[in-house]
Structure 1
Amino acid sequence: MEKSDRLLIILAFFSIYVIWGSTYLLNKISVSQLSPLMLAGIRFTTAGGLIFLLSLGLGKSLRITKKQFLNSVFAGVLFLVIGNGGVVWALRFVDSNFAALEISSQPLVILLLMWLLQGKKIKKESVIGIILGIAGIYLLVSQKQVIGDNQSIWGMLTIFLCMMSWGYASIFVGNADLPKNYLVNTGYQMLSGGILLLIASMLLGEEWLALTSWEPQVQISMILLVLFGSIVAFTSFNFLLKRVSPEKVATSTYVNPIIAMFLGWYFLDELITVQGILAAVILLTGVYFINRTKTKVIAKKV
């Protein structure tokens, strides 16, 4: 691996670790006023359009094959329409730190999907991780404030379905014929996903608020979500999926929940319970065992 490639991979990991950790807070703030699918649709449509303009400014061609276009739309549906749109919807019913902790079990979901779909052998370390992961999830979802609230249960189940969609998409993107340039690839996924989210929002009759009526903190959150959470982090994510294995990319779940828990507690006064902390420790330990297994690195060039 060249030195420049190594630096890009490090910066990309920093992006999906830190920036994505803050998106739970930003989405929670935004969904307090905006309809969830409209929010996600505006975010990704705007980000996709900006990415295309940036690509053209850098002299990149937007021409792709029909197969690449269909694969990009499919990935956009899995990642953004279901994977992200569902999480934003669920944030109306659960705290941002709870959502982050539940999603921290993503490597467990990806490992099981790779076992089911690709016949990947599960090693001893991963078996330990699976057991710890299941125990951590049980502790997380069995908290009184969760099982005593029907809306929280719906939010929890929705996030689980989103994780399945995101996990399958991660495996699909690693081997699919997609636009070779990462900006162009991200742009097509975001624009198609954003448009479909807006269509879904209209079909479901969500309330649309004019930009001028958005509260200042919602406007700031949306700007940060578009520029950093979407353009920077998601482009980094697509870059990593072509360079390292899906399980390694999923290690962002070590850092994301910690950042989300702190930000949710600091800015939104979200409750952090002893049982929640214990669940986080056990769950993240399980993720560690899953990801300590050596995997083959995908070394494709841009």
Structure 2
Amino acid sequence: MSASRKTVLIILAFFAIYVIWGSTYMLNKIAVSQLPPFFLAAVRFLVASIIIFIIAKSLSISLSITKKQFINTCIAGALFLTLGNGLAVVALKYIDSGFAALEISSQPLVVLIMMRIFLGKKIKTMSYIGVVLGFIGIFLLVSQNQIINKEGQILGMILIFLCMLCWAYASIFVGNADLPKNHFVNTGYQMLTGGIMLCIVSLCLNEPWSLPNVWQTDVQWAMGGLIIFGSIVAFTAFNYLLKEVSPEKVATSTYVNPIIALILGWWILDEQITLQSIIAAGVLLTGVYFINTKRLFKLRSIGR
């Protein structure tokens, strides 16, 4: 591959993890306006997994995995997708997409604390600064009267926090788990098992199921975007970048995604952006930067 073509691919891959992943909050917000949250997530990941397996077979990639790897993909799928993404989509019924993205951007803070608790990992001075700034940013974000007083806002914030706990623990789990070596196959099995569990949750909650032909046009487009671009294109780009550039550069998506989500939420969904939210974003993302400084920690984003 020529250097110029490789450069173009890297630029396109960064565009995918910056803009596409940043837009998934808006797309989920649009889709959940008509579809039940767990049904929505189930359709997204089941269809995406089938497409991934078809692509893998067309590329002659083996789909065979061991029993232990299958069990581990089930656990990862449950944490990342059934609980993590499922709870996030439920939360979007109550809170703005930009607000959700900002709160989720503090995930590295939660991971750091969990690694200290479960793995006994020492926290460096720069990370301590990041933790303090992160807590200040979160406080500024969630303490706004115009947000707290809205119906369902507190429930939405709690759900986002719970989904962050699931993602954070899943990130630690996959770091040591025996999973399929091929990222494409690994993703496919996680989406398949997570999607099946989302179906079970949806059925247990008696969510109404429907066919795409009765969905509103904007919901159809949103679901298509979540499946093709959010679940397949962006994650493929993410894995490509992990091989071609340093993990620290890939992790910059943590800072860009919430900004993209805020802009799209304001521009397309008419969501309000307050001055305090802007200040909170600056403080929170600065804290995340300090936490990630000189760390080779790869942020897992499969749940987006």
Q: TM-score, normalised by structure 1?
A: 0.90
Partners of 2:17 and 2:29 lie apart in 1 by 18
Residue aligning to 2:102? 101
Please provide the CA RMSD for this pair. Answer: 2.5
Q: Which residue of 2 aligns with 1:198?
A: 199
**Closer/same/farther in 2, CA of residues 46 and 24 from structure 1, 3 Å limit:** same
Tell me the percent identity: 63
Pair 1:296–1:198, CA change in 2 (3 A): closer
Partners of 1:182 and 1:5 lie apart in 2 by: 20
What is the deviation of 1:206?
0.8
Which residue matches 2:114? 113
2:270 aligned partner, one-letter code: D
Amino acid at match of 2:35: L
CA distance in 1, matches of 2:248, 2:69: 24
Q: Which amino acid aligns with 1:204?
A: L
CA drift of 1:214 comes to 0.5
Query: Which amino acid in structure 2 is aligned with residue 137 of structure 1?
Result: I
Q: TM-score, normalised by structure 2?
A: 0.89
Q: Deviations over 1:222-252 (max 9, x none)?
A: 1110011011223455677899999876542
Partner of 2:73: 72
Which residue identity is paired with 1:219? Q
State the distance in 2 between where 1:139 and 1:203 align. 37
From the superposition, tell whether residues 227 and 260 of structure 1 become closer, same or farther in structure 2 (CA, over 3 Å).
same
User: Could you tell me which residue of structure 1 aligns to residue 176 of structure 2?
Assistant: 175
Shift of the 111–296 alpha-carbon distance from structure 1 to 2, 3 Å rule, reads: closer
Question: Does the 8 Å CA contact 1:106/1:250 hold for their aligned counterparts?
Answer: no
Do 2:247 and 2:297's aligned partners in 1 also have CA atoms closer than 8 Å? no
Distance change (3 Å), C-alpha of 1:99 and 1:296: closer
Give the aligned partner of residue 22 of structure 1.
23
- Aligned-partner Cα distance in 2 for 1:224–1:86: 20
Q: Which amino acid letter does the alignment assign opposite residue 121 of structure 2? A: K
Give the counterpart letter for 1:75 in structure 2: A
The alignment status of 1:222 with 2:223, answered yes or no, reads yes
- The aligned residue for residue 130 of structure 2 is 129
Shift of 1:199: 1.3
Checking the alignment, whether the CA contact within 8 Å between 2:94 and 2:151 is kept in structure 1 is: no
Q: CA deviation at 1:184?
A: 0.8
Question: Whole-Å Cα distance in 1 between the matches of residues 31 and 146 of structure 2?
Answer: 23
Amino acid corresponding to residue 107 of structure 1 in structure 2: P
Inter-partner Cα distance in structure 2 for 1:171 and 1:275: 32
- CA distance change for structure 1 residues 8 and 128 in 2, over 3 Å: closer, same or farther? farther
Letter in 2 for 1:142: S
Residue type of the alignment partner of 2:188 = G
1:141 aligns with 2:142: yes
3-state DSSP class of the match of 2:152? helix
Q: Paired residues, what number?
A: 295
